[in-house]
Amino acid sequence: MRRVVASAVTLAAAVSLAACGSSGPSTTSSAKGLTMWTLNDQTILKESVDAYNKDHPDAKITLRLFANDDYKQKLRVAFGANQAPDLFFNWGGGALNDYVKAGKVDALTPSEVNTDRYTPSVMQSATFDSKVYGVPANGLAPVVLYYNKKVLADAGVEPPKTYDDLLAAVKKLKTKDVVPLSLAANSKWPTLMYLEYLLDRTGGAEVFSKIASGDPSAWKGPSVTKANRYLQDLSKAGAFGDNASSVNYDQGSSTALLYTGKAAMEVMGTWEYANIAKAAPDFLKNGDLGYTSFPALTDGSGDPKNIVGNPSNFLSLNSSTSHKAEALAYLKDYVFNDSQIDAYLAAGSVPPVKGLESKLAASKSSDKAWLRFVYDLVQNAPSFQLSWDQALPSDQADPLLTNTDKSFLRQISPAGFGTNMSKAAS
Enter the pTM of the model: 0.82
Whole-number pLDDT of residue 410: 97
91 and 52 assigned to the same domain: yes
Taking 90 as the threshold, does the pLDDT of residue 195 lie above it? yes
Share of the chain above pLDDT 70, in %: 92
What is the pLDDT averaged over residues 173-186? 96
In a domain, 170, yes or no: yes
159 and 234 assigned to the same domain: yes
Lowest mean pLDDT among 46-55, 146-155, 344-353: 344-353
Quote the domain boundaries for residue 57: 13-139+311-376
Taking 90 as the threshold, does the pLDDT of residue 221 lie above it? yes
In a domain, 386, yes or no: no
In a domain, 385, yes or no: no
Give 69's pLDDT tier (boundaries 50, 70, 90).
low
Whole-number pLDDT of residue 59: 94
- Stronger pLDDT, 29 or 267, i.e. the higher one: 267
134 and 148 assigned to the same domain: no
62 and 162 assigned to the same domain: no
Cα gap 149→179, rounded to integer Å: 14
Cα gap 195→388, rounded to integer Å: 10
160 and 31 assigned to the same domain: no
Whole-number pLDDT of residue 21: 33
Whole-number pLDDT of residue 27: 40
In a domain, 145, yes or no: yes
240 and 263 assigned to the same domain: yes
Whole-number pLDDT of residue 8: 33
Cα gap 42→165, rounded to integer Å: 39
**Number of residues assigned to the chain:** 426
What is the pLDDT averaged over residues 69-89? 92
CB atoms within 10 A of CB 337: 14
CATH code of the domain covering residue 77: 3.40.190.10
268 and 415 assigned to the same domain: yes
345 and 236 assigned to the same domain: no
In a domain, 130, yes or no: yes
Q: How far is CA 402 from CA 39, 310, 328, in A?
A: 27, 20, 40
What is the pLDDT averaged over residues 218-240? 98
Cα gap 315→92, rounded to integer Å: 9
Whole-number pLDDT of residue 22: 33
The predicted-structure confidence for 246-283, as pLDDT tens digits, reads as follows 999 988 999 999 999 999 999 999 989 988 998 999 99
Amino acid at 265: M
68 and 80 assigned to the same domain: yes
Cα gap 212→421, rounded to integer Å: 12
148 and 275 assigned to the same domain: yes
Taking 70 as the threshold, does the pLDDT of residue 71 lie above it? yes
Whole-number pLDDT of residue 191: 98
Cα gap 367→281, rounded to integer Å: 12
The predicted-structure confidence for 385-408, as pLDDT tens digits, reads as follows 999 988 888 789 899 999 999 999
134 and 145 assigned to the same domain: no
Task: Please state the domain count of the chain.
Answer: 2
Give 315's pLDDT tier (boundaries 50, 70, 90).
very high
Cα gap 333→335, rounded to integer Å: 6
Cα gap 221→422, rounded to integer Å: 10
In a domain, 5, yes or no: no
What is the pLDDT averaged over residues 378-391? 91
Q: What secondary structure, in 3-state letters, does the chain show?
A: CCCECCCCCCCCHHHCCCECCCCCCEEECCCCCCEEEEECCCHHHHHHHHHHHHHCCCCCCEEEEECHHHHHHHHHHHHHCCCCCCEEEECCHHHHHHHHHCCCECCECHHHHCHHHECHHHHHHHEECCEECCEECCCCEEEEEEEEHHHHHHCCCCCCCEHHHHHHHHHHHHCCCCEEEECCHHHCHHHHHHHHHHHHHHHCHHHHHHHHCCCHHHHHCHHHHHHHHHHHHHHHCCCCCCCHHHCCHHHCHHHHHHHCCCEEEEEEECHHHHHHHHHCHHHHHCCCEEEECCCECCCCCCCCCCEEEECCCEEEEECCCCCHHHHHHHHHHCCCCHHHHHHHHHCCCCCCECCCHHHHHHCCCCCHHHHHHHHHHHHCCCCEEECHHHHCCHHHHHHHHHHHHHHHCCCCCHHHHHHHHHHHHC
230 and 337 assigned to the same domain: no
Q: Are 84 and 316 in contact (CB under 8 A)?
A: no
User: For the chain, what is the mean pLDDT?
Assistant: 90
In a domain, 153, yes or no: yes
CB atoms within 10 A of CB 285: 12
Strand 179-182, strand 263-269: pairing: parallel
In a domain, 416, yes or no: yes
